Chains A and B, each alone.
Chain A
Amino acid sequence: MGLWEVDCVRFSKQLRTSIILIALLLVFYLVAPYLYPNRSFFETLLVLTILSLSFNIVYGFTGYMPFGYAAFFAIGAYGFGIGIVRHFGLVSSFLLGGLASLALGLIFVPMLRLRGAYFAIANLAGFEGAYYIISNQSLTFITRGPYGISVSSVYNPNITYAVSLLLLVIVIVVTYIVRTSNFGLALRAIKDDPLVASISGINVGLYRGVAWLSSAIFAGLAGGAYGWYISFFYPSTVFSINYSLFAILFTIFGGPGTIIGPIIGTTTLYSLYQAVGLSYPLYSTLAFGALVVVLIIVLPEGLKKIFRKYLKWEML
């Protein structure tokens, strides 16, 4: 059995769960906006779920903690925006967003030699560097520098929503493949002990790199969808460390290394974030921050552990 092959017999139960999961999500995202007519909420929730799932491919399967992860999201929005401004067309612009964050991912690859906090900090510095370049006045002719980019010519929230939903399904399928294929098994081995993994014939650098780059692409596509939806954005709108924090918190809260964890994590915590924001607009960030601290103390391994302990169910 090859590296990418998914063993449908061994994982028949997981396959069924994933199909049900995708069906439930489709129903939720198609029906819920009628019950709670807040388009912006659902579009943002979709985008953040995709972002968390992308982040999970790196953090959940390789253990790297990229604090500057939002750079992929932002560069994706910019790739898309620049494409639209230059009249590349919708599809090409969208792909350009993914390509831009793939390129940024490649530039960041040497960081993977660092471990732990060093990697996290280097990545944060990379984020700042990318922000500096994009927002630089002297690059206004490409990026519009500090003046922001408008994609209002292609504004169409219904299509954006549909594309985001499609993207969600794709990233779930990719996560499923990573979770159940031998490639994913190799990633888990590397996470446990890179030395023994290499003694077992695994090209540790290559595997980490593949996970890193695929994660970057999806984060970029999520950023593109977001930029498309909000229609106009400044560098600081998308280069916001908040997107890193969201992806990190939502993933850890739900259960890193799973498919369902980041989805549940994002849905519950972001809904909560919105609810707090609506009721206490002034204190929303503070209240949310406090909530997160409490959650992390009470539930360090997230819902995954709760599911295992009380429901006797190993989260997919």
Chain B
Amino acid sequence: MLELRGIRKNFGKLAALNDVNLEFKENELIAIIGPNGAGKTTLINVITGVLKEDSGTIRYLHKEINVLPAYLRARLGINRTFQIPKPFSNLTVIENVRIGALFSNDKKGQTMEEEVERVLSLLRLKSLADKPAKELNTEQKKLVDLGRALVSRPKFLFMDEMGAGLAEEEILTLSNLIRGIQKDEGVSVVYVGHVMKLVKQLQCPIAVFSEGSPIFQGSYDEVTSNPAIIKLYLGERYAQS
């Protein structure tokens, strides 16, 4: 279990995370949604060690991991993708994935190279293996980013908004991929985003973020029928009608 207690993060006067208490269990799929600026990416940044929280604790495996640098958290099995995909641009696709495998959380089982091959075929990246990442389009970059994270066999994988700008059928493919990964890889996936179509397809519990803290947790239907959340997303007038 990954446990956040009283996490606060301010940017100047702005409370990007405002006393966040959350628990993420092993082997589950959950989605976090919330309007722009709700603090979703900041939450991932704080959990993965990209940003230091102002106060609060993050516990994992009976340790307070918020005192650890990012690379040690990664080695404990906490990994992520980026909202704007960040593959290593001068490395090829296969090299990007290899980097993820260097400090695999799970040393047993397949050799590193087999694992890299497996992830490349899972994400249908094999034909691009020797292409430098900077030559890829955004969708391909997202997959490389995901491959780098996935090959490390994380216990918790935070995915920051991969669905933006996708067409209907692409959303279906992506949601199937995410569900498949969660089931087959023995990982907890926390999907962060605000493309509701995708979140619906994930068919998983949803936490709603607003102004730096979770305000509601429930199923897709519960979330979409809650007037307060509709108001949050669409404004006062829509909620009344």
Q: Do A and B bind each other?
A: yes
A residues touching B (Cβ–Cβ < 8 Å)?
Answer: 1, 3, 182, 185-186, 188-189, 191-193, 195-204
Residues on the A chain within 8 Å of B112, using CB: 1
- A302 to B202, alpha carbons, bound, how many Å? 50
The answer to whether B102 and A202 have CB atoms under 8 Å apart is yes
Instruction: Determine whether the beta carbon of B71 is less than 8 Å from that of A203.
Output: yes
Q: Contact residues of B with A, CB < 8 Å?
A: 48-50, 69-71, 74-75, 79-80, 82, 86-91, 95, 98-100, 102-103, 111-113, 148, 152
How distant is the Cα of A197 from the Cα of B99 in the complex, in angstroms? Answer: 8
Collect the chain B residues with CB atoms within 8 Å of residue A197's CB.
Answer: 88, 99
Q: Which residues of B contact A185 (CB under 8 A)?
A: 91, 95, 98-99, 102
Task: Check A196 against B88 for contact (C-beta < 8 Å).
Answer: yes
| Cβ-defined contact, B88 with A189, below 8 A | yes
Min CB gap A4→B, angstroms: 12
Known contacts A1-B112, A189-B91, A192-B91, A199 near B79 by CB under 8 Å: yes
- Return chain B residues, CB-CB under 8 Å to A204: 71
A-B pairs, 10 with minimum CB distance: A201-B103, A201-B74, A192-B88, A198-B70, A198-B71, A201-B75, A189-B88, A189-B99, A196-B86, A200-B99
Please give me the residue from chain A that is nearest to B48 by CB atom: A199
Chain A residues lying within 8 Å of B69, measured Cβ to Cβ, are: 198, 203
Please, could you name 21 A-B residue pairs with CB atoms under 8 Å apart, sorted by A? A1-B111, A1-B113, A182-B98, A182-B102, A185-B98, A185-B99, A185-B102, A188-B90, A189-B95, A189-B99, A192-B88, A192-B89, A192-B91, A195-B50, A195-B70, A199-B50, A199-B70, A199-B74, A199-B79, A200-B152, A201-B75
A198 contact set on B, CB distance < 8 A: 49, 69-71, 74
Provide the residues of chain B in CB contact with A201, threshold 8 Å: 71, 74-75, 102-103, 152
Closest B residue by C-beta to A202: B71
Chain A, Cβ-Cβ closest to B80: A199
Report how far A196 CA is from B100 CA in the complex, Å: 10
* Interface-central residue, A185, A192, A200, A202, by most chain B CB under 10 Å: A200
Q: How far is the CA of A3 from the CA of B112 in the complex (A)?
A: 11
Neighbouring A residues of B49 by C-beta, 8 Å: 198-199
Known: A185-B91, A185-B98, A188-B90. 5 other contacts (CB 8 A): A186-B102, A193-B89, A195-B86, A200-B102, A202-B99
CB of B88 within 8 A of CB of A188, answer yes
Q: Which residue of A lies closest to B69 (CB)?
A: A198
- Say whether B50 contacts A200, CB under 8 Å: no
Q: Are A202 and B88 in contact (CB under 8 A)?
A: no
Which residues of chain A are near B102, meaning CB under 8 Å? 3, 182, 185-186, 200-202
CA distance A202 to B98 in the complex (A): 12
CB distance from B83 to the nearest CB of A (A): 13
